[in-house]
Amino acid sequence: MSRTEDRLSRWAVTAPPTLFLLAFFLVPALIVVLASFQYPGEFGGLAPLADPGDGSEHGLTLENYRFYFSDFLFTEILLRSFLVAAASTLICLVLAYPVAWLIARSPKQHRDLLVLLVILPFASNFLIRVYAWMIILGPQAGLAQAVNGLLGAFGLAPVSLLFSPFAVLVGMVYVHLPFMILPLYTNLEKHDPVLLDAAQDLGANAWQRFWRVTWPLSLPGVFSGSALVFIPVLGMFAIPDILGGTRDMLIGNLIKDQFLGVRDWPFGATLSIVLTLCVLGLAGLAAWAGKGGRHG
Amino acid sequence: MALLELHDVTRRFGDFEAVKDVSFAVESGEFFTLLGPSGCGKTTILRMVAGFDRPDGGRILLDGRDLAATPPEKRPIHTVFQSYALFPHLSVGRNVAFPLRMAGLPEGEIRRRVGETLEQVHLAELADHYPHEISGGQKQRVALARGLVNRPRLLLLDEPLGALDLKLREEMQLELIKLQREVGVTFVFVTHAQNEALALSHRIAVMNRGRIEQLDVPSRIYGFPQNRFVADFIGNCNLLEARVVDRRDGELGLEAEGLGEIRAPATDRPGSTGVLALRPEQVRIHAGGDGENDQDNRFPGTVRDFLYVGDVTTYQVVLDNGFRLSALRANDAPGRARFFEIGDRVTVSWARQAGHYVPD
Ligand SMILES: Nc1ncnc2c1ncn2[C@@H]1O[C@H](COP(=O)(O)OP(=O)(O)OP(=O)(O)O)[C@@H](O)[C@H]1O
Ligand SMILES: [Mg+2]
């Protein structure tokens, strides 16, 4: 094969994914970055970059970032969002691990069916499923009545399950659980059972076999499952909108409001950038910690 | 008291009896081998001794105590798996440290014992490598080191050399013998390679279809097979169908099918029909009508085929009465690959003390 041909075929292979990333990732990201340095348009949207000549705002500015740091409220919402995402991820992990493990250990001919059951909820509309939780957690439902009956027995005031951080967490966990189960299952299913025999043979009891063999081998699945839950939860606005109270605003709601509510696109873009930078920083930290764990 | 005893151990899978009434005893410090063709139940026996499987009948004793109620992790028995089963997420050193960690030894003691054991299997410099970074032979040594590091009463080895190439295999055989002598741990070794069993073992149990066919030291397994299966399975063997016609002063007169009368050493086992097992290296082959000793059993024949394997050549000789016999000759003249050509007239002979009569 000649050199030009070689170069050509290399291009043929790498060009499509490169173009794909450019078109669907890099360009939109750059647009958002640019927007975060612009002024808002008079009726939403963005003010022009070039001077329109009528004395209105135009060009680039740091005003949006200054505004973000002028009020700790925004950072507080951001931190709360991270907290909710972390809690949702942790709860998902705790709930998903045994499920994934059981599916991976079940007879081969049943596994596909069980996986299908895990993803079956996706067959119905996301909003309908979240609204269903409004009924389940609502004051008339058995759950709330049981809880408040119990509280009453101890002489405590009744609480509302719905429109609370608890309801938000329930919704987040419920919606994202399959995203944790699937990567965990894919990982656990690949484990060679002879490793557990070997561990047992060498003196490991059931807990040690899990902690020393299954768990460390499943870490890649834990990481991808966590990323698949953590990041969507971080940006989620529908669930806190429907199930949360007025004080449970998360960064997703805030950003959505900038675009759809108060129509301050540049500040929405700024919030998005801050959020993205935080996530990237966290991912970098995780990668660094992961490397350290492997060789340390 | 024997270290390990199996009494009438049976294991069924549905209607199929994988292990049938197997009994044997392994002495402390012994290198004991279970030898048999694929599917004869070797792994099943090891799994029951290790505790991963339970016998449907019979008892397994270690130091005289029944193991039935002891789970695998509590048995002072370790296994070297055929696939090695090294932990991929742990370095070589940490793999070897695993059983010591489980035993809750202090960190300093663990480090000392791991270093010592890795030294013994010549892997000290690979302690920080991961299993995917080392060769098959090295993995084998790690598995051995991991099995031996906390001095189990018994080490079970399930075809541990099966995945190695011939050269490495022979190297590892020598090392296994040396290592076992050094550490003094009792080995129960499983293989379907008869030469490996003969080379390594103090005693061999030859198995077939879930039963033990013969249990003895290697030289007797090879020299005095107790039945057709053992004679046939161990090494190459000429099996001559024969009938006893007379017995006198330590010798048998046999009427061999198609050969007429031959003489063979007596056996203490009765039975008037059976086979004479005759190793190819016991059969001498001469050109034309030469012969050495009229005490020998001698038959004329024609070379039909030969197999050159380097150090020796095995000749297939068709006797004049139609019987086929293999005879082996060492290639002791430099550069000679064979001493006879196909079609050569030869005489085969064997001493009347050679061969072993196996009554049915
Ligand atoms: N869990 C099981 N269920 C059903 N049959 C089994 C099971 N385990 C083993 N067997 C059968 O028992 C017989 C003995 O198996 P085993 O693995 O002990 O043979 P082996 O002597 O180790 O053979 P190989 O040299 O091929 O490893 C085989 O016929 C096998 O098919
Ligand atoms: Mg086997």
Whether residues B87 and A199 touch (CB distance < 8 A) is answered with: yes
**If DSSP codes are grouped into helix, strand and coil, which group holds residue B342?**
coil
CA distance B96 to A151: 55
Adjacent-strand bridge partners of B33 = B189, B204
Q: What is the 3-state secondary structure (H, E, C) of B189-219?
A: EEECCHHHHHHHCCEEEEEECCEEEEEECHH
- Domain assignment present for A180: yes
Ligand approaching nearest to the C-alpha of B15: 1
Cβ B33 vs Cβ B45: under 8 Å: no
Instruction: Return the pLDDT at A295.
Output: 45
Atom 8 in ligand 1: residue holding the nearest Cα: B44
Tell me the pLDDT tens digit for each residue of A111-120: 999 999 999 9
- Residues whose CB falls within 8 Å of the CB of residue A123, separated by 6 or more in sequence, listed in order: none
Q: H or E element: which one contains B83?
A: none
- Domain assignment present for A93: yes
Atom 19 in ligand 1: residue holding the nearest Cα: B39
Return the structure tokens found at B291: 């012969």
CA distance B294 to B299: 11
CA distance A284 to A57: 37
Instruction: Return the pLDDT at B260.
Output: 79
DSSP β-ladder status, B31-35 and B57-62 = unpaired
CA distance A165 to A137: 12
Adjacent-strand bridge partners of B19 = B11
Task: State the burial class of residue A81 (Cβ atoms within 10 Å of its Cβ: 0-12, 13-18, 19+).
Answer: buried
Instruction: Return the pLDDT at B290.
Output: 60
CA distance A104 to A6: 44
Return the structure tokens found at A55: 């004395």
Q: Select from B53, B79, B114 the residue whose CB has the most chain A CBs within 10 Å, as the one to mutate to test that interface.
A: B79
CA distance B120 to B146: 12
Instruction: Return the pLDDT at B293.
Output: 61
Ligand approaching nearest to the C-alpha of B207: 1
What letters, b where the CB count within 10 A reaches 16 and e where it falls short, cover A262-296?
Answer: ebbbbbbbbbbbbbeebbeebeeeeeeeeeeeeee
Q: DSSP letter for B84, please.
A: -
Instruction: Return the pLDDT at B288.
Output: 73
Instruction: Return the pLDDT at B236.
Output: 87
Show pLDDT as tens, one digit a residue, over chain B (360 residues): 899 999 999 999 999 999 999 999 999 999 999 999 999 999 999 999 999 999 999 999 999 999 999 999 999 999 999 889 999 999 999 999 999 999 999 999 999 999 999 998 999 999 999 999 999 889 999 999 999 999 999 999 999 988 788 888 888 899 899 999 988 999 999 999 999 999 999 999 999 999 999 999 999 999 999 899 999 999 888 998 888 888 877 788 888 877 778 888 877 676 778 888 999 999 988 887 665 566 678 888 999 999 988 888 899 999 888 888 999 988 888 777 778 889 889 988 888 888 888 887
* Domain span including residue A145: 71-263
Provide the whole-model pTM.
0.85
φ, ψ for residue A248 (rounded to 5)?
A: -100, 25
Whether residues A198 and B52 touch (CB distance < 8 A) is answered with: no
**Domains of chain B, residue spans:** 4-223, 280-350
Alpha carbon separation from B222 to A289, B126, B187, B348 (Å, rounded): 60, 40, 21, 22
Ligand approaching nearest to the C-alpha of B35: 1
| Chain A residue whose CA is closest to B128 | A295
CA distance B92 to B132: 10
| Chain A residue whose CA is closest to B90 | A294
Return the structure tokens found at A209: 């076999």
- Options 3.90.650.10, 2.40.50.140, 3.10.129.10, 3.20.20.70; CATH of B280-350: 2.40.50.140
CA distance B265 to B260: 17
Whether residues A201 and B87 touch (CB distance < 8 A) is answered with: no
Closest residue to B79, CB basis, from A192, A201, A213: A201
Among all chains, which residue has been given the structure tokens 């450019």? Answer: A22
CA distance to partner chain A, nearest, from residue B82 (Å): 10
* For helices A27-36 and A265-295, angle between their N-to-C axes, nearest 10 degrees: 120
CA distance A150 to A264: 46
Q: Looking at ligand 1, which atom is closest to the CA of residue B37?
A: 25
Closest residue to A194, CB basis, from B73, B85, B103: B85
Instruction: Return the pLDDT at B251.
Output: 83
For domain B4-223, the CATH superfamily is P-loop containing nucleotide triphosphate hydrolases (3.40.50.300)
Q: How far is the CA of B67 from the centre of ligand 1 (A)?
A: 22
CA distance to partner chain A, nearest, from residue B203 (Å): 25
How many domains is chain A partitioned into structurally? 1
Return the structure tokens found at A279: 């996530």
- For ligand 1, residues with CB inside 6 Å are B 13, 18, 36, 38-44, 192
Alpha carbon separation from B178 to A186, A189, B121, B223 (Å, rounded): 44, 40, 10, 25
Q: Where are the beta strands (DSSP E) in chain B?
A: 4-13, 16-26, 31-35, 57-62, 65-66, 77-80, 154-158, 186-191, 203-208, 211-216, 238-248, 251-256, 260-265, 273-278, 284-287, 297-308, 312-319, 324-330, 345-350, 356-359
Return the structure tokens found at B160: 């541990």
The interface predicted TM-score (ipTM) is 0.85
CA A53 to chain centre: 44
CA dihedral B26, B27, B30, B31 (to 10 degrees): 0
CA distance to partner chain B, nearest, from residue A208 (Å): 8
Question: Between A and B, how many CB-CB pairs are < 8 A?
Answer: 55
Q: DSSP letter for A46, please.
A: B
Closest residue to B50, CB basis, from A195, A201, A205: A201
Q: Select from A201, A212, A291 the residue whose CB has the most chain B CBs within 10 Å, as the one to mutate to test that interface.
A: A201
Using the Cβ of B133 and the Cβ atoms of chain A, whether some distance falls under 8 Å is answered with no
Q: H or E element: which one contains B76?
A: none
| Chain B residue whose CA is closest to A208 | B102
Whether residues B102 and A194 touch (CB distance < 8 A) is answered with: no
Q: H or E element: which one contains B162?
A: none
What letters, b where the CB count within 10 A reaches 16 and e where it falls short, cover A84-111?
Answer: bbbbbbebbbeebbebbbebbeeeeeee
Adjacent-strand bridge partners of B242 = B256, B274
Among chain A, residues having any CB pair with chain B shorter than 8 Å are: 192, 194-195, 197-205, 208, 212-213, 216-217
Residues of B in contact with A296 (CB under 8 A): none
**If DSSP codes are grouped into helix, strand and coil, which group holds residue B320?**
coil
Q: How far is the CA of B209 from the centre of ligand 1 (A)?
A: 10
Mutate to test the pocket of ligand 1, among B12, B42, B45, B209 (most ligand atoms within 8 A of CB): B42
* Number of Cβ atoms within 10 Å of the Cβ of A205: 14
Residues of chain A with pLDDT under 70: 1-2, 292-296
Q: Looking at ligand 1, which atom is closest to the CA of residue B82?
A: 27
Residues of A in contact with B99 (CB under 8 A): 202-203
CA B42 to chain centre: 12
Q: How far is the CA of B45 from the centre of ligand 1 (A)?
A: 10
Cβ B185 vs Cβ B15: under 8 Å: no
Residues of A in contact with B155 (CB under 8 A): none
CA distance B350 to B297: 5
Neighbours of ion ligand 2 (CB under 5 A): B 43
CA distance A258 to A240: 16
Closest residue to B87, CB basis, from A195, A200, A205: A195
Q: What is the CATH number of the domain that holds A148?
A: 1.10.3720.10
What letters, b where the CB count within 10 A reaches 16 and e where it falls short, cover B126-165?
Answer: bbeebbeebeebbbbbbbbbbbbbbebebbbbbbbbeebe
